[in-house]
Amino acid sequence: MTKALFLNCSLKSSNEESNTEALMKEVITHFNKENVTSEIVRIVDYNIKFGVSEDEGYGDEWPEVFNKVKQADIIIIGTPVWLGEKSSVAKMVMERLDGGSGLTNDKGQYIYYNKVVGVVITGNEDGAKNAASSILYGLTHIGFTIPPNVDTYWVGEAGPGPSYIEAEGYKNDFTMEHAKIMAYNLMHFARMLKENPIPAEGNVVEQS
Amino acid sequence: MTKALFLNCSLKSSNEESNTEALMKEVITHFNKENVTSEIVRIVDYNIKFGVSEDEGYGDEWPEVFNKVKQADIIIIGTPVWLGEKSSVAKMVMERLDGGSGLTNDKGQYIYYNKVVGVVITGNEDGAKNAASSILYGLTHIGFTIPPNVDTYWVGEAGPGPSYIEAEGYKNDFTMEHAKIMAYNLMHFARMLKENPIPAEGNVVEQS
Amino acid sequence: MTKALFLNCSLKSSNEESNTEALMKEVITHFNKENVTSEIVRIVDYNIKFGVSEDEGYGDEWPEVFNKVKQADIIIIGTPVWLGEKSSVAKMVMERLDGGSGLTNDKGQYIYYNKVVGVVITGNEDGAKNAASSILYGLTHIGFTIPPNVDTYWVGEAGPGPSYIEAEGYKNDFTMEHAKIMAYNLMHFARMLKENPIPAEGNVVEQS
Amino acid sequence: MTKALFLNCSLKSSNEESNTEALMKEVITHFNKENVTSEIVRIVDYNIKFGVSEDEGYGDEWPEVFNKVKQADIIIIGTPVWLGEKSSVAKMVMERLDGGSGLTNDKGQYIYYNKVVGVVITGNEDGAKNAASSILYGLTHIGFTIPPNVDTYWVGEAGPGPSYIEAEGYKNDFTMEHAKIMAYNLMHFARMLKENPIPAEGNVVEQS
């Protein structure tokens, strides 16, 4: 069965409503129809330490999240937009994922090979593409695959204003169509890579 | 008298209407009240060559534009948003300005010292802050000064849709307030630097 | 046979040596061993108009380049770094590719589906990742697929200095290893997508 | 007396050596000669909560840092480069500064008016300009002033390798010259704005 893991990088813990999570649920609707299982993790519910290693010790709960990453076929990073960019929590997650980028699978490829990644972004205004660009690039740089059209976002008109839930972003056809295309392309590629993993030719890294 | 030069980096020549120019005119309204003179240059009306020198020869019309830059106190770069970023024309202008960055004034400082810069950005959706960030950083890196709040922009909700003129962006209070604040801060700093130029201490560059 | 098209977005025409092209040739070395054909196009040798359509008329030579794009399985965008970013020529190419993003294949998917993309970047200093991020994101947003580790670059230490050729960048193990991994992953994915094209399920776009 | 506050956004606490701090000290050398006082704060030594308010309650130590910001004339953000970008800690600091952006001074301008900002960036490779661009833009957007040439950085050649201290980055003339120019321009502008604060004309914001 195909497993999707949603890492919600909201600045707020799960006792508060998250716009990003509301949009994630649109993606999940499509996964449900296709027997892809979904799990949402609210990052700030965990005690994640700043750092660039797999385990920063002393109560660091990243290893628990990282274990979920290892078992998932599809990773979706969700982030709000602040000052026109992804959140600090999203960057922290990328730094921790980078901390595992030295690991290899049993063929000697980077551990993220054959995993696919997408993004879900919400904000009251401008910054979604910048956030998408940064997250998708950072993760392909460490070994994830990016299918086409895996950036689902909603932002409002320039200036202060309501975000996704209050603005009823679900009425935006563009955003809803992208949620669907993203869900299907992530699923198609996850299955394709499960049946035909990336050949271990030309991409086996030397252990350092 | 304080001189403002608007470089409109639309992909369209001046026989076509420009959303960015429409928003520039809001800024000019404020300049007019304060005796700042304004000139708008539509970059693609000129034959500007790709390159990173002051003069690329063979019919290159950049030197004519560059001469206007040298005489202006305030430079405002205007750009549309395409794929979430500034236009290729805006990047071409930055490369050509960079081509003059080796020049120095009579005190030995970079030639752009005591000039201030702002941006005007329009697009149907997301990307204004990314464009602003890139342009303002690139120009401070070669010697321009950036007063506070000199990024004026309008973009609509996520997805395809009308741009500034058709969407009646002038009704957006945030955008209109920023056009005003930008105009005044550019003017305040241009005057301040005319009366008290940046002291030639610690920032005189060696001629290479 | 798998076809690779290299679009070299240097600011210089092909009568001048290009650092980016020198690094492209390292990638081509790997393609040659695997029966992938390679063609390099120096963009500024063509008269490409600014715009966001498939054909800007009046002597526009983009349609000729675009035809090559349509026939290629692998697209590699090459760019120098100026002011810490990709070149204006690279952005112009992205705008023109975006101009074709409304086209669909015979299954009703975006025309760039089943094509894969990578980047080759050179500069004297800092900016390669920014350039890679912008290009890869922009192209996945319009339908290209991004295999893991398809960003090959060389830049030197902070500050002015020689670029790839003069600095003998080919001696940089990291850059050379990435050129190889990129070549193989582009090839693996191009073949995978030729044998198993992305299913036309959930990603068929409505004609507008 | 002019006060400079250095916010070191290293991922490491102050019991570990920081490359960014080593480069900050070069800037401080110039400040010392000119009677500018300097204080370095290592952000992760404090318990700073994620959020976008002035005080996130429950043991949040941001108010203590924010108080230092309010009293400083010059703010310098220091950050390492990870995945080609500023650190998550730097983004967290920007989010918290943004949380104070609704405050106004006694003239009704944003509270950051008349304060100037610069950046110090170190990394083993590529990403300094991206980090500089993001930080400087985000802070001018909320009211800081950016003098020319206030981005001081050191990064090495492409690929893994030593960072500033181990690589003896202090031998890089470009980086050392920029540290000096930055120090002087920050000082010149801080003094200019102390003697001639930004006039409260056109930039007084309405209390919301």
Calculate how close chain C gets to B74, using CA atoms only, in Å. Answer: 21
State the alpha helices, DSSP H only, in D113-205. 128-141, 173-195
User: Does B174 sit within 8 Å of A158, measured CB to CB?
Assistant: yes
- What lies within 8 Å, CB to CB, of A171 at 6+ separation is none
DSSP helix/strand/coil, C101: coil
DSSP C61: -
pLDDT reported for residue B207: 56
| CA-based nearest distance A206→chain D, Å | 14
C89–B88 CB contact, under 8 Å: yes
Q: Distance between CA atoms of B43 and D37, rounded to whole angstroms? A: 46
Residue from the list A110, A150, A198 with its beta carbon closest to the beta carbon of C188:
A198
The predicted pLDDT at position D207 comes to: 56
Please give the torsion angle defined by the CA atoms of residues C25, C30, C35 and C38, in that order, rounded to the nearest 10 degrees.
Answer: -20
Q: B60-84 burial, b if ≥16 CB within 10 A, otherwise e? A: bebeebbeebeebbbbbbbbbbbbb
- Name every chain B residue with its beta carbon within 8 A of the beta carbon of C141: 83-84
DSSP secondary structure, A86-133, as one string: --HHHHHHHHHHHHTTT-B-TTSSBTTTT-EEEEEEEESSS-HHHHHH
Query: Between these two residues, A208 and A57, which has the higher pLDDT value?
Result: A57
Write the pLDDT tens digit of every residue in B150-200.
999 999 999 999 999 999 999 999 999 999 999 999 999 999 999 999 999
Residues of C in contact with A137 (CB under 8 A): 129, 132-133, 136-137, 151
Residues of C in contact with D84 (CB under 8 A): 128-130, 133
pLDDT of D30 above 60? yes
Touching chains, D (3+ CB pairs < 8 A) = A, B, C
Q: Percent of chain B scored above 70 by pLDDT?
A: 99
CB contact under 8 A, D184 and B201: yes
- Check residue A199 and give its pLDDT: 98
Confidence check: pLDDT of A206 > 90: no
Decide if B188 and D180 are in contact by the 8 Å CB cutoff.
Answer: no
Q: Hey, which chains touch C, using 3+ CB pairs under 8 Å? A: A, B, D
Residues of A in contact with B173 (CB under 8 A): 159
| Contact (CB<8Å) B83/A160 | no
The helices-and-strands tally (H runs, E runs) of chain D is 5, 5
Which residue, among B157, B172, B180, would best test binding to A if mutated, counting the most A CBs under 10 Å from its CB? Answer: B157
User: Least CB-CB distance to B98: which of C12, C44, C82?
Assistant: C82
Nearest-Å Rg of the Cα atoms of chain D is 17
Task: Give the containing element (helix H, strand E) for A186.
Answer: helix A173-195
Q: Please provide the average confidence, as pLDDT, over all residues in chain D.
A: 97
pLDDT at B95 over 90: yes
Give the CA angle between residues A89, A95, A97 to the nearest 5°: 105
| Chain C residue with minimum CA distance to B82 | C95
Instruction: Tell me the average pLDDT of chain B.
Output: 97
Contacts A–D by Cβ distance under 8 A: 69
pLDDT of res. C205: 87
Question: Is the CB of D158 less than 8 angstroms away from the CB of C128?
Answer: yes
Neighbors of chain A with 3 or more C-beta pairs under 8 Å: B, C, D
| Residue B205 banded pLDDT, cuts 50, 70, 90 | confident
Answer yes or no: do A202 and C192 touch at CB < 8 A.
no
A143-181 tens-digit pLDDT? 999 999 999 999 999 999 999 999 999 999 999 999 999
Question: pLDDT tens-digit profile of D103-114?
Answer: 999 999 999 999
CA distance B170 to chain C (A): 25
**B98:C83 CB<8 A:** yes
Q: How many residues does chain B have?
A: 208
Q: What is the average pLDDT across D158-179?
A: 97
Q: What is the pLDDT of residue A207?
A: 56
**Cα-Cα-Cα-Cα dihedral sign, residues D198, D201, D205, D206:** positive
Q: The tokens of C118 are what?
A: 């990578």
Instruction: Identify which of D11, D50, D84 has the shortest CB distance to residue A51.
Output: D11
Substitution target from B149, B151, B195, B204 for chain D, most D beta carbons within 10 A: B149
- Strands laid side by side in the C36-42 sheet: C36-42, C2-8, C74-80, C116-123, C151-155
Which of B113, B148, B201 comes nearest D148 by C-beta? B113
The partner residues of D42 in beta bridges, in order of sequence, read D8
- CA B178, CA B152: separation in Å to the nearest integer? 5
D149–B110: do the CB atoms touch at under 8 Å? yes
Q: How far apart are CA C182 and CA C197, in angstroms?
A: 21
> Residue B163: closest CA among chain A residues belongs to which residue?
A157
| Per-residue pLDDT tens digits for B132-149 | 999 999 999 999 999 999
Yes or no: is domain B2-195 CATH 3.20.20.70?
no
Query: Cβ contacts (< 8 Å) between B134 and chain C: which residues?
Result: 85
What distance, in Å, lies between the first and last C-alpha atoms of chain C?
34
Compute the Cα dihedral for D153, A140, D91, D149 and give only its sign.
positive
Counting one residue from A and one from B, how many pairs have CB atoms under 8 Å apart?
69
CA of A82 vs chain D CAs: smallest distance (Å):
7
- Per the prediction, chain A carries an average pLDDT of 97
ipTM over the 0.95 cut-off: yes
Q: Which of A133, A156, A158 sits opposite B128 (nearest CB)?
A: A158
Query: In D, what residues contact C, Cβ < 8 A?
Result: 83-85, 125-130, 133, 153-160, 169, 172-175
How many residues in chain A? 208
- Chain B environment of C56 (Cβ under 8 Å): none
> Shortest CB distance from C83 goes to which of B82, B88, B141?
B141
Chain C interface disruption, residue of D19, D26, D129, D152, most C CBs within 10 A: D129
User: Residue A149: which of C148, C185, C203 has the nearest Cβ?
Assistant: C203
Q: Which residues of chain C are modeled with pLDDT < 70? A: 207-208
The CA-atom distances, in angstroms, between A139 and each of A144, C140, D79 are 6, 14, 21
Check residues D58 and B85 and name the one with the higher pLDDT.
B85
- Closest Cβ opposite residue C11 in set B52, B83, B142: B52
What chain B residue is nearest to A124 in terms of C-alpha separation? B157
How would you label B136-151 residue by residue, b for 16+ Cβ within 10 Å and e otherwise?
Answer: bbbbbbbbbbbbbbbb
| Set of chain B residues whose Cβ sits within 8 Å of the Cβ of C44 | 50
CA distance D11 to A92: 10
Whether D148 and B192 lie within 8 Å, measured CB to CB: no
Question: How far lies D159's CA from each of B24, B27, B72, in Å?
Answer: 43, 45, 42
Question: Is the CB of A129 less than 8 angstroms away from the CB of C144?
Answer: no
What DSSP element (H or E) covers C80? strand C74-80
Chain D interface, Cβ < 8 Å to A: 11, 44, 50-52, 82-89, 91-92, 94-95, 98, 134, 137-138, 141-142
Q: What is the pTM of this model?
A: 0.98
Cβ atoms < 10 Å from Cβ of B101 = 18
Share of chain B above pLDDT 90, in %: 96
Chain C CB contacts of D158 below 8 Å: 128, 153-156, 169, 172, 174-175
Domain range annotation of chain D: 2-195
3-state secondary structure of B4: strand
Q: How many CB atoms lie within 10 A of CB B99?
A: 19
